[in-house]
Amino acid sequence: MPTDQLSLTFAALADPTRRGILARLAQGEATVKELAEPFAVSLPAISRHLRVLEGAGLITRRRDAQSRPTSLRIEGLSEADEWMANCRAVWEGRVRRLDAHLDAMLKGETDE
């Protein structure tokens, strides 16, 4: 996945209204009007949030109906999750090597 796409995903997830929309969509497809109901914001504001989520690959919107029902795109979340898992693996490796390095240092074995 291109890195700029991942940045879009993280930025999209950084907003509480957009996370609320995703949580609602986890229960199933919804229209813009249905998505707007729990929030004290206008329909155009919800539409803007949906454009951000769509740009981040987190939702898909059907084009064949006037109400443009929206659904969750789980792949978008998996990609962000995978990035974090890789990040964790790199740091765990560093901690292991640092541990071995410090052991060797304290035993005076690093002066090859």
Give the binding site for other proteins (CB under 8 A). Answer: 3-4, 6-7, 10-11, 13-16, 19, 22-23, 26-27, 72, 74, 77-78, 80-81, 83-84, 87-88, 90-95, 97-103, 105-106, 110
Q: Tell me the C-alpha to C-alpha distance, in Å, between residue 62 and each of 1, 22, 53, 99.
A: 23, 16, 14, 52
Smallest distance from other proteins to CB 30, Å: 14
Maximum alpha-carbon separation in the chain: 73
CA 23 to chain centre: 13
Q: Which is nearer to other proteins, 64 or 111 (CB)?
A: 111
Smallest distance from other proteins to CB 58, Å: 10
Q: Which is nearer to other proteins, 64 or 90 (CB)?
A: 90
Q: Which is nearer to other proteins, 2 or 64 (CB)?
A: 2
Smallest distance from other proteins to CB 42, Å: 21
3-state secondary structure of 60: strand
3-state secondary structure of 70: strand
Q: Which is nearer to other proteins, 62 or 88 (CB)?
A: 88
